[in-house]
Structure 1
Amino acid sequence: MTLATQPCATDPTPAPVPGRAAAGRARLVAAVRDPLLRNSFYLLATTALGAAAGFAFWILVARLYPAADVGRASSLLSSLSLLSYFSLFGLGSTLVRHLPTSERRAEETSTALSAVVVAAVVISGAFVVLVPWAAPELGFLHGSPLRAVVFVVLATGAAVNLLTDSVFVAFRTSKVNLAVNGVLMSLVKLVLPVLFVAFGPFGIVAASGTASTVAAVVSVLVIRHLLRVRVRPAFSWRTFRSTLGYSLSSYLSGSLNLVPQIVLPIVVLQTLGPVPAATYFVAFQIANLVNSVSYAIGEALFAEGSQAGVALGPVARSSGKAIALATVPAVLVVCLLARPVLSVFGPRYAAGGTATLVVFTVGALAVAFNTWVSFLLKVTRQLVAMVVSNVVLAAVVLAVAVTGLEHGLQWAAVAWGVGNLASGVVAGAALLAGGLREPYSGRHRRRRGGRRTA
C-alpha cells in the first residue's frame, strides 16, 4: 500500500455507523405499524379524496345544469347533510368509544343502525312536510310524491353511511373506509350527474345522495362479511339505554360545535353582503383542508384510546406530536400561497380574501389544539367538560364576529381562531383537572355469579 492510499490517523471524517441506517429503518417500520399513525393516514386520505371528488363534482354540475338549479340543489344538499348528522344522536361516537371493548358488538351495532334509520326517516320526513313553508325555493322537492320518498331514502342512506364510518374507525380498519368512501363513493358521485340531468335540480341532489347511499349499503355488507359483525334489523333497549348518556352528551357537544359553522356565514351575509359571504365561504373551505389533518388524527386518537388495555399517556403524546408535525407545515404553505390559491377562483377573491384566508389558516393551530384536547375528553368520558368547552366555542366565536365584522371580513376568521383557542383552553383545563383516566375496560362488568351487566 502506498503512502497516498494509507488511512490517516487524524482524518476528521467519521467512519460510518453501521447501526444508524438500521435504526432509521426500524423507526420507519415502527411508524408504519403504529395503528394511530396508520389510521390517521387512511382517514386523511379519505378526506382528501372526498374533497377532490366534491370539487370535481361541482365543476361538472356547473357545466351540466343551469346556475339557478345549482343554487337550489346546493341548499337542499346542505339540508340533507345536516339532517343526516342530526339523525345520528351521537351514536357514532358511542360506537367508536365502546365497540373495541364490547362483548356484544353485533347487538350494539345493530341497535345503533336501527335507531339511526328510524331517526333519519322521522327527521327527514318532517323536513319534507315543512319545506314548502320553511323554504319555498325548495318547493321542487314536492314535484311528485316519489321525489319526497327518494329524498327520505337518500337522507337515511347518508346517515347510515356516517354511522358505518364510525364502525370502521372503531375496528381500526380505516383503509376499508378509504376504499368505500374515498374511492367507490367518489366514482359513483362523478358518474351520476351526467345521467340525472333530466331531473333538474333534484338530479343534482339525487346524484350526490345516491353515492352516499351506495356507500352505506356496501359498508354494511363489508361489516357483515369482512369484519364478521352480524348486523341485522334489531333493537335492544337495554343496550341503547346503557349508552344513552354518552350518546346524548356527544350529540349535544357536536351540535354546539356546529353552531358557529352554521351561523357565522349567515352573520357575514347579513353584515357585509353576498360578495364577502362568497369570499368567506371559499376561504373557510380552503382553511378547513388544513383543519382536516387534526380532525383525522383526532379520530384515530379516539379509536386508539378506546382499545382495551391501552396506555393513554403515550397515545396522547404521540397524537399531539403528529398533529403538530402535520399542521404547522401545512399552515406555513397555505399562508405563503394564499393569494395565488384564491386567484384561481378569481381576482375578486384574491383581493378581498387573502388576509381572511391567512388568518383562518393561522387559526388552524388553535383548531388543532382544541381538537386534540377535545378528543382526549371524549376518550376519558369527561362529558360535562365536552359540552362546556363547546358552549364556550359557540359563544366566543359569535360574540367576536358580531362585534368585529363591521371592521372587515378578516374578523370572521379572527372570531373562529379565538373561539377555538378559548374552547381548547377550557377543555385543556378540564383535562388537567380530571387527568388521563385509566384505560377503559368496557361497560360490561361482572355481577356475583358470573353474569355480566351493562
Structure 2
Amino acid sequence: MSMTARSVPPPRAAPRLARARAMVRDPLIVNSFFLLATTALGAGAGFVFWLLVARLYPAADVGRASSLLSSMSLLSYFSLFGLNSTLVRHLPTSDRPAHEVGTALSTVAVCSCAISGGFVLLVPWMAPQLGFLHGSFLMAAGFVVLAAGAAVNLLTDSVFVAFRATRVNLAVNGVLMSLVKLALPVLFVSGGPFGVVAAGAGASTIAAAASVLAIRGVLRLRIRPAFSWQTLRATLGYSLSSYLSGSLNLLPQIVLPIVVLQALGPVPAATYFVAFQIANLVNSASYAIGEALFAEGSRHGAALGPIAVRSGKVIALATVPTVALVAVLARPVLHVFGPQYAAHGTTTLTVFTLGSLTVAFNTWVSFLLKLTRQLVAMVVSNAVLVAVVLVIVLVRLHHGLVWAAIAWGAGNLASGVAAGAALLAGGVRAPHTGRHRRAGKEHTTA
C-alpha cells in the first residue's frame, strides 16, 4: 500500500473531519470561543487584582473602594441606555457604521459624565462612607472620567461583537486590560481607597482608549465625536426597550446581596457573594454564546432557525458538563476560600450551579426575543424574573441562605418560560432590519 493511500482517512472519519472543519469556521463558534476567553482572562485577572489589593492596602480602604467600584460599574451600565444592544443589532446592516458608532460613543460618554457627576454630588447623603470623593476636585473629577471610560469600554465591546472582531476584543479587553489591571495597584498604593478605584477603573479607561484606536485602525471605521438625533431616534424604541429589559435583569443581582446582608448578616452575605461569583463564571458561557447568537442573527440574510438550533446545542454542550463538575466539586472549591465557606455554603453553591441550567435557557430564549424584536415580551419576561426572585426571597430567606439560590434559579426558569412562550407565539423568524439611504435621508426598514 502506498504512502498516499495510507494518508487517506477512513470513510467514517471523513464526515467527522468535515464537521470539525465546519465548526472551526462557524462564526458563531469562533466568536463564542473568543468571548469566553476574554471573560476567563478578565475573571482571572480580577481574582489576582483583589489578592494584590488585599495585601497592599488596609482593609478599610479595600471595603470603601470595593463599594465605590461596584457603584461605578452600575453607573457605567446605566449610561449605555441600551445602545450596546442596538449597535450589535444594526451595525451589520448599516451603511453608515462609523457615524453610528461615533454618535453612540459620544452619547454614552456625555451621559456617563452627567450621571456619575450627579452621583458624586449626592454621595455624602447617599453613602457617607464614600465621602472621601469630596476630598479634592481632582478626585471627584477623576471618578467622573474613569466612570465614562468604563462606560465607553463596555460599548466598544459591542462594536467588536457586531463586526465579528472578537479576536481584537480578546487582545484589548482580555490581554491588555488584564496586564494593566495587575500593574496599577502597585503604582497607586499611596492613593488610599481612591488608589484602588484608580487602579481598577484605570485599566478599563486605558482599554477604552485602545479599543477606539483598534476600531479606527483594525476595523477601518473613521469614527469621530458626533451627535445625530436622527440616528438615535431611528432606533430609540429598541434601545430603550433593551435598556429597560437589561436593567430589570440586573435588578435581582443588585438587590439580593443587600437583602441577604440585612436578613442574615455579614457572614452569610460573604458566603452568598463567593457562591454567586463562582456560579456566575459558569453562566459566562451562555452569556458569551448568546452574544454571538445575537451578532450572527443580526446579519443580513441570516437564517435564524438554524442559528438558534446551533447556538442552543453549543450552550448545552458548554453548560451541562461545567454544571456537573462544579456541583460535584462545590465543597473543595469553597474550601479554597476558607473552611467556613465550605461548611456553610456548599449547598448554596450547588443550588446556584444547578440554577445555571435555567440561566442558560433564559439567556438563549431572551436573545432570540431581542433578535425577533419582541420588545414588550423582553420587558415582561425580565419583570417575571424580578417578581419571582423577590417574592421567594422575601417569603423564604429567613429559613436559610440556600433560598437565595433557589429564588435565583426559579426566577430564571419562570423568565425563560415566559420568554419562550412569547417566542413561540410570535415566531422565530426575525424581520430583517437594516439602514439604508434614499434621497439623502436615513430610515429603517423591517
Number of residue equivalences:
437
Counterpart position of 2:418: 426
| Shift in Å, 1:318 | 0.1
Counterpart position of 1:453: 443
Q: Runs of 4+ in structure 1 displaced over 6 angstroms?
A: none
Is the 8 Å Cα contact of residues 95 and 435 (structure 2) preserved in structure 1? no
Question: Is 1:26 the equivalent of 2:18?
Answer: yes
Give the distance between the partners of 1:138 and 1:98, measured in 2 at CA.
40
Counterpart position of 1:412: 404
Counterpart position of 1:112: 104
Counterpart position of 1:373: 365
Counterpart position of 2:244: 252
Counterpart position of 2:116: 124
TM alignment of 1:1-400, pairs within 5 A: 18-400=10-392
Give the distance between the partners of 1:68 and 1:279, measured in 2 at CA.
20
Provide structure 1 residue ranges, at least 5 long, that are not aligned to the other structure.
Answer: 1-15
Q: Which amino acid aligns with 2:70?
A: S
Give the distance between the partners of 2:365 and 2:321, measured in 1 at CA.
21
Give the distance between the partners of 1:113 and 1:175, measured in 2 at CA.
21
Give the distance between the partners of 2:276 and 2:379, measured in 1 at CA.
24
TM-score, normalising length: structure 1: 0.95
| Shift in Å, 1:143 | 1.3
Is the 8 Å Cα contact of residues 249 and 387 (structure 1) preserved in structure 2? yes
Give the distance between the partners of 1:247 and 1:450, measured in 2 at CA.
24
Pick closer, same or farther for the CA change 1:156–1:452 going to 2, 3 Å: closer
Provide structure 2 residue ranges, at least 5 long, that are not aligned to the other structure.
Answer: 1-7
Give the distance between the partners of 2:156 and 2:9, measured in 1 at CA.
49
Give the distance between the partners of 2:362 and 2:348, measured in 1 at CA.
20
| Shift in Å, 1:134 | 0.8
| Shift in Å, 1:445 | 7.2
1:278-314 CA distance string (max 9 Å, x none): 0000000000011001000000000000000010000
| Shift in Å, 1:62 | 0.3
Give the distance between the partners of 2:48 and 2:296, measured in 1 at CA.
33
| Shift in Å, 1:107 | 1.1
| Shift in Å, 1:437 | 2.3
Higher mean alpha-carbon deviation, 299-308 vs 430-439, is at 430-439
Is the 8 Å Cα contact of residues 185 and 212 (structure 1) preserved in structure 2? yes
| Shift in Å, 1:133 | 1.1
Give the distance between the partners of 1:400 and 1:441, measured in 2 at CA.
39
DSSP 3-state at the match of 1:218? helix
1:69-104 CA distance string (max 9 Å, x none): 000000000001001000000000000000000111
Q: Which amino acid aligns with 1:297?
A: I
1:228-254 CA distance string (max 9 Å, x none): 111101111110110111000000000
Give the distance between the partners of 1:443 and 1:407, measured in 2 at CA.
54
Pick closer, same or farther for the CA change 1:438–1:61 going to 2, 3 Å: closer
Give the distance between the partners of 1:203 and 1:451, measured in 2 at CA.
49
Is the 8 Å Cα contact of residues 90 and 433 (structure 2) preserved in structure 1? no
DSSP 3-state at the match of 1:453? strand
Q: Which amino acid aligns with 1:341?
A: V
Larger Rg over CA atoms: 1
Q: Which amino acid aligns with 1:311?
A: A
Give the distance between the partners of 2:116 and 2:255, measured in 1 at CA.
21
1:379-431 CA distance string (max 9 Å, x none): 11110000000000001001011111111110000000000000000000000
Q: Which amino acid aligns with 1:54?
A: G
| Shift in Å, 1:452 | 5.2
Give the distance between the partners of 2:309 and 2:74, measured in 1 at CA.
33
Is the 8 Å Cα contact of residues 164 and 219 (structure 1) preserved in structure 2? yes
Is the 8 Å Cα contact of residues 312 and 439 (structure 1) preserved in structure 2? no
| Shift in Å, 1:24 | 1.8
Counterpart position of 1:436: 428
DSSP 3-state at the match of 1:444? strand
DSSP 3-state at the match of 1:400? helix
| Shift in Å, 1:17 | 7.3
TM-score, normalising length: structure 2: 0.96
Give the distance between the partners of 2:278 and 2:403, measured in 1 at CA.
17
- RMSD of the alignment, in Å? 1.3
| Shift in Å, 1:337 | 0.3
DSSP 3-state at the match of 2:80? coil
Counterpart position of 1:5: none
DSSP 3-state at the match of 2:235? helix
1:114-151 CA distance string (max 9 Å, x none): 11011001000001111011111001111110001111
